[in-house]
Structure 1
Amino acid sequence: MAEAWDHALLALRLVALDPALGGVHLRARSGPVRDALPLPDGVRLHPAIGDDALFGGLDLATTLATGHLQSQTGVLDRPGPLILTMAERCQPQLAARLAAHLDARPRALILLDEGTEDEAPPAALCERAAFRVDLSGVALSDITALPEGPEPTAHAALGPDIAAQITALAATYGIDSMRAPSLALRCARALARLDGMSTVTEEHVATACGLVFGHRATQVPQPPQEDDPPQAPQDDVPDTEDRQGTDLDIPDELLLEAVRAMIPDGLLDRLRATRATAGKGAGSGAKTRSNRRGRPLPSRPGRLDTAARIDVVATLRAAAPWQTIRRDETGRAGLHIRATDVHTRRFEEQTDRLLIFAVDASGSAALARLAEAKGAVELLLTQAYARRDHVALVSFRGTGAEILLPPTRSLVQTKRRLAALPGGGGTPLAAGLDSAGELAIQARRRGMTPTICLLTDGKANIARDGAGDRARAAADAQTAARMIRAQAIEALIIDTGQRPNPQLRVLAQTLDAPYLPLPRADSHRLARAVDAALPA
């Protein structure tokens, strides 16, 4: 892992030499290894920083003391690179503001990423950072000092043909952003300047492509077939020695290998897994507005009542510009605050997500796919536990439904209840939907975001009153589905039968829910399909 440390030092030196490279995405937990990095003295930002601190605004204390409007600058007006701590927690709103600032004023941005495997800074900021370095596996023994080079030159020339070659290389590795080739060209010039050279060499271009393209690659090009006919030499193309200026003739194989060597282990597998579950949540429910707790939001004008919390600073800031006029109107000294000045504090919090598994344990399901359904639910429960979701288990068989497990995060208890789930009897589909719907409504009242995952073969034959009547059973299931949809509860129907059931497709339309027919699928495929279809 000493190579990763050397790359981190080189990346920091490059962005210090040329801030237009955008910056460095440093993935490392807080500790002695990260503390040993020679981070530049820059402007420290945190994920919850507000617009007033970023862009500046009214200087409240001076304005109230002098009676005249006084403004103050924000942290973005300070010189030096930007260092965003806990970048994996950066919200899209802050990322958009920083991205717009970087586009208008090129400067280095250091993203300190302390997240887990499924956490990362916003893509808008990662795209603008030329380099990404993962120091997760670096030990203290790997820490070395990068040897000092010659005095950097002021400029390094690069031939025009290299731009087209680097752009084609980016397309070969599945990089669809034109920002990446531009950063690679700038990186090649910066590498040459670090070496004290005025001309970019073949080694500089190869190193730059590896540093910039390695973590951005989404595919690995296949090597050419051995039986391909060799290219005939062209007599009208001059040799490299005869070329004038700074043009280079770099073999494509050299650049391909340079990028392939820099692709992190397992990166492409993680990208495929990310695309399979793109847009899905990671254990978080809906975002709700709160006046008591959560992530702070900008204050808004409000009223004096017991339900709201007054933002004193924002209220004083709104009242400050009018103090001179109000004193002249009233003839009284002191601070004048009116109802229109009152601002209230707001917060945003994410509710816990609850996955309610409604499992068909009837005789028809037991003969068909109950074993695979149990295995799929167990795998989904493990994934839900890793995402810190709450889970609940509802079983329906015979003439009714039973809540085997109320909302919980206990993986052991859930697996024990699932393993003891018996099979046999009729299919009271309406009863199962009713129980799952009531459980979802109760969970929503407690501040959760429920999702019903129904696993059944759809052969309903037991009505709500327990009588055996297929027509009434299907009608009752439709009624229960309409009640769930009226409550705006997210749902998912997975058909575990040997063949797709048209009645379940109609039921999914009534629920406005995805319908997944998965005949001949084992528990692993079943779990992957359900996990990919679950709403965020």
Structure 2
Amino acid sequence: MQDDPARAWDDALRAAALFAADPHGLGGIVLRAGAGPVRDLWLDALRQHFTGPIRRMPPGIADDRLIGGLDLPATLQAGQPVVQRGLLAEADGGVVVVPMAERLERGHVARLAAALDTGLLALERDGLAARLPARFGLVLLDEGQEEETVPEALADRLAFRIDLSGVGLRQAERRNAPAAQSRADAQHPPPAGKGPGAADPVTTLCALSDALGIVSLRAPLLALRVAGRIATTEGRDAPEEADLIEAARLVLAPRATRLPPAPTEEQEAQETPPEPPQDGGQSEEDSREPADAPRTPDDVVLEAVRAALPQDLLARLLAGGPPLRASAAGRMGAAAASPLTGRPAGNRPGDPRRGRLDLIATLRAAAPWQRLRKREGEARRIVVTSGDFRLRRLKRRSETTTIFCVDASGSAALERLAEAKGAVELLLAESYVRRDRIALVAFRGTGAEVVLPPTRSLVRAKRVLAGLPGGGGTPLAAGLDAAATLALGVRRSGGSPVIVLLTDGRANVARSGLGGRALAGEEALAAGRLLRAQGLPTLVIDTGARPDGARRLAEAAQARYCPLPHADAGSVSAAIRAVTL
């Protein structure tokens, strides 16, 4: 596994040099690094290699600035539509740097991906229809936390993925060698006797992608382009084995989702040369021939790439769950339409008495028709009709409220409550950054109560949880009703609720407070179906010693089911993050 910061920095410089030679052909680079001098040094190295335009895409950029639109002053002056180029068209032949790429909006992701695929920008707005050249490369600056990643739809189209989070400033300043010199440190020396055409590059890279668990077909294609670029810089017509090794290390290794299979005993036996005969019947030169027999090109490339795999890949595999999982940016809830407050999200035709008028968009809609609307000899003015009015579309991000609904009954109540306490504290520690809130509903005895209203206060949560009692029956239906009522209140206030139910699913107290497993079980299933009808996202964590007791309830609520008979605070918190991200 690669764990040398100096090697990571050398690979980053090498990737910058290769990318600068063909930005659009190689797609771009995903650079995971926080804002600081190390990232600035790498960006300076990219500028030294690339002489074309480098444009920075501001966070929250509007569509008319990103893809272009109607040039309002020029249109009014000329009396006919005049196209104004956007940032992507201005970056034709250059590079676009995207800060905070892990928080890109879906519309911007789609436009960037389409431009990367076609090299053209489709401009269809404000009465315009144009195709503008937009051949550029992307540098996505990933500044998110561990579970925040850039959109996979973009990352899959970019050749390189660089992680400089473990590189210090002194290491970056010392490793200042030219990219050509760093190549010797960035790969294993090729075996003697290997020349051009020794192996089919396509077959080798596809086999290596399969061994590393890479399902995308773009990965080997990008690796092949990188290998061809390396060969071109070295003055060769076709990539050699050393070029394939370096391309696979830079492109395929960061995408690996599993460890490559180890050689079998039969393969090792075939690679082990037989001992020379003792009778001297064979010449010394013939006896050395099996030892010098070369391995297959695929084995050589795979062995060289194995050392460049991400250092935390094995740990993720041992921890279980999908490795290198791509997640959405943040947990701030869904973007909800808002008539008066929020961030601009375009415009729409409408009555200005029922929304906020977008003056510039209104003038753009009216500008192309001025020559037809003005009468001869009329004073110079702009004629606006009711069909030209445009209203602002505003969206505001709603915060997520995680509602813990905890079974506080029975002999295992203390263990379950301890798990809930730990999970609440872990999630609250992250809520300051992600603007989340936490609530807690406990059910025991004959009813349920909201012991912790939605809050971000870790001190308050600890104080309430410390005094939470346990024991008694299991009024599961009452607990679900209380959680649903709280969730609907959060939704009405503009938030995004998520219900997390920790129970073994064995209800024995009905809503009326009477005992009886049959009636209590039917009421619990009915409460679960009500959650489904109300569209409340729910996670059911089965904490029973024999998991499966809560599966029927999860099916009734169409909730995600997670059996954790030996759960702790960390596993509960990880399961909740997997659902709410």
TM range (shorter): 0.7 to 0.9
Q: Give a deviation string over 1:383-437, Cα, whole Å, max 9, x none.
A: 4325423111122222322221111122343244334322223333333233222
Equivalent residue for 1:289, pick from 331, 337, 361:
337
**Deviation string for 1:233-287 (max 9, x for gaps)?**
9xxxxxxxxxxxxxx9863332113212221210354475455977788533233
**1:297 counterpart letter in structure 2:** A
Deviation at 1:304, TM superposition (A): 0.9
Q: Which residue is equivalent to 1:239?
A: none
Task: Give structure 1 stretches of 5+ with no counterpart.
Answer: 151-155, 234-247
SS of structure 2 residue aligned to 1:319 = helix
Aligned to 1:339: 386
- Separation in 2, partners of 1:470, 1:189: 69
Match of 1:59 among 58, 71, 75: 71
* 3-state SS of 1:230 partner: helix
The partner residue of 1:165 within 191, 195, 204 is 204
What does residue 7 of structure 1 align with? 11
Distance 1:30 1:459 in 2: 51
Counterpart of 2:32 in structure 1: which amino acid? R
What aligned pairs does 1:152-191 form with structure 2 within 5 A after superposition?
A: 161-191=200-230
3-state SS of 1:284 partner: coil
**How far did residue 107 of structure 1 move?**
3.6
Does 2:47 match 1:28?
A: no
Aligned-residue offset at 1:317? 0.5
- Once residues 454 and 460 of structure 1 are traced to their aligned partners in structure 2, the CA distance between those partners, rounded to angstroms, is 13
Residue by residue over 1:6-50, the C-alpha shift from the partner in whole angstroms, topping out at 9 and shown as x without a partner, is 222211111122231222222222222222232334122234334
Question: How much does 1:476 deviate?
Answer: 4.7
Aligned twin of 2:177:
146
After TM superposition, give the deviation of residue 441 of structure 1 in Å.
Answer: 2.1
Task: State the shift of 1:447 in Å.
Answer: 1.6
Task: After TM superposition, give the deviation of residue 355 of structure 1 in Å.
Answer: 1.7
Distance 1:501 1:157 in 2: 59
Three-state SS of the structure 1 residue aligned to 2:270 is coil
Residue equivalent to 2:50:
none
Cα distance in structure 2, aligned partners of 1:159 and 1:295: 57
The runs of 5 or more residues in structure 2 that have no matched partner are 48-52, 120-134, 182-194, 274-293
- Equivalent residue pairs, number: 510
Q: Map 1:51-90 onto structure 2 (within 5 A).
A: 51-78=63-90, 79-90=93-104
Instruction: Report the secondary structure of 1:6's partner residue.
Output: helix
Q: Match for residue 441 of structure 1?
A: 488
Q: 1:103 to 1:410 in 2, by over 3 A?
A: same
CA offset at residue 531 of structure 1? 2.5
Q: Which amino acid aligns with 2:83?
A: S
Aligned-pair CA distance for 1:204: 2.2
Q: 1:60, CA displacement in angstroms?
A: 0.5
Q: Does the C-alpha gap of structure 1 residues 426 and 297 become closer, same or farther in structure 2, counting only changes over 3 Å? A: same
Shift of 1:289: 1.1
Contact 1:9/1:146, CA 8 A, preserved across alignment = no
Determine if the alignment matches structure 1 residue 39 to structure 2 residue 46.
yes
Q: Which amino acid counterpart does residue 252 of structure 1 have in structure 2? A: D
Matches within 5 A, 1:336-415: 336-362=383-409, 365=410, 367=411, 369-388=412-431, 389-415=436-462
Give, as a single letter, the amino acid of the residue that structure 1 aligns with 2:455. T
Aligned in 2, Cα 1:50/1:401: closer, same or farther, shift over 3 Å?
Answer: same
**Separation (CA, whole Å) in 2 of partners of 1:226 and 1:482:** 55
Greater alpha carbon shift after TM alignment, 264-273 vs 311-320: 264-273
Correspondences of 1:396-475 after superposition (within 5 Å): 396-468=443-515, 473-474=520-521
Paired with 1:2 and 1:517, the residues of 2 have a C-alpha distance of 43
Distance across 1 between alignment mates of 2:498 and 2:179: 58
2:106 to 83, 88, 92: 92
Is 1:282–1:387's contact at 8 Å kept on the other side of the alignment? no
**Partner amino acid for 1:23?**
G
Instruction: Give the structure 2 partner of residue 313 of structure 1.
Output: 360
Map residues 174-213 of structure 1 onto 2, 5 A cutoff: 174-198=213-237, 200-213=239-252
2:165, 2:323 → 1: CA distance? 24
Tell me what 1:511 maps to. Answer: 557
Does the 8 A contact of 2:337 with 2:393 survive in 1?
Answer: yes
Q: Distance in 2 between matches of 1:98 and 1:201?
A: 33
The 1:480/1:204 distance shift into structure 2, 3 A limit, reads closer
**Retained in 2: the 8 A contact 1:62–1:70?**
yes
Contact 1:12 1:39 in 2 (8 A): yes
Q: What is the rounded CA distance, in whole Å, between the counterparts of 2:546 and 2:350 in structure 1?
A: 58
Task: Name which of structure 1's ranges 32-41 and 296-305 shifts more when overlaid on structure 2.
Answer: 32-41
> How far apart, CA to CA, are the structure 2 residues paired with 1:75 and 1:301?
26
Q: 1:401 to 1:221 in 2, by over 3 A?
A: same
**Contact 2:490 2:497 (C-alpha < 8 Å) held by counterparts:** yes
CA distance in 1, matches of 2:78, 2:572: 66
CA distance in 2, matches of 1:485, 1:343: 38
Opposite residue 337 of structure 2, the aligned amino acid is R
Question: Aligned partners of 1:358 and 1:7: how far apart in 2?
Answer: 48
TM-score between the two structures when normalised by the length of structure 2: 0.78
Deviation at 1:341, TM superposition (A): 0.8
Cα distance in structure 2, aligned partners of 1:16 and 1:281:
28
Q: CA deviation at 1:288?
A: 1.0
Q: Is the 8 A contact 1:48 1:296 kept in 2?
A: no
Contact 1:180 1:213 in 2 (8 A): yes
In the alignment, is the contact (CA less than 8 A) between 2:253 and 2:309 conserved in 1? yes
Is the counterpart of residue 259 in structure 1 residue 305 in structure 2? yes
The secondary structure found in structure 1 opposite 2:213 is coil
Deviation of residue 157 (structure 1)?
Answer: 7.5
Counterparts of 1:218 and 1:179 in 2: how far apart (Å)? 15
Report SS of the residue matched to 2:336. strand
Does the residue aligned with 2:156 lie in a helix, a strand or coil?
helix
Computed over aligned residues only, the root mean square deviation of the Cα atoms, in angstroms, reads: 3.3
- Between 1:484-493 and 1:104-113, the stretch displaced more is 484-493
State the SS of the aligned residue for 1:212. Answer: helix
Displacement of 1:117 in angstroms is 1.5
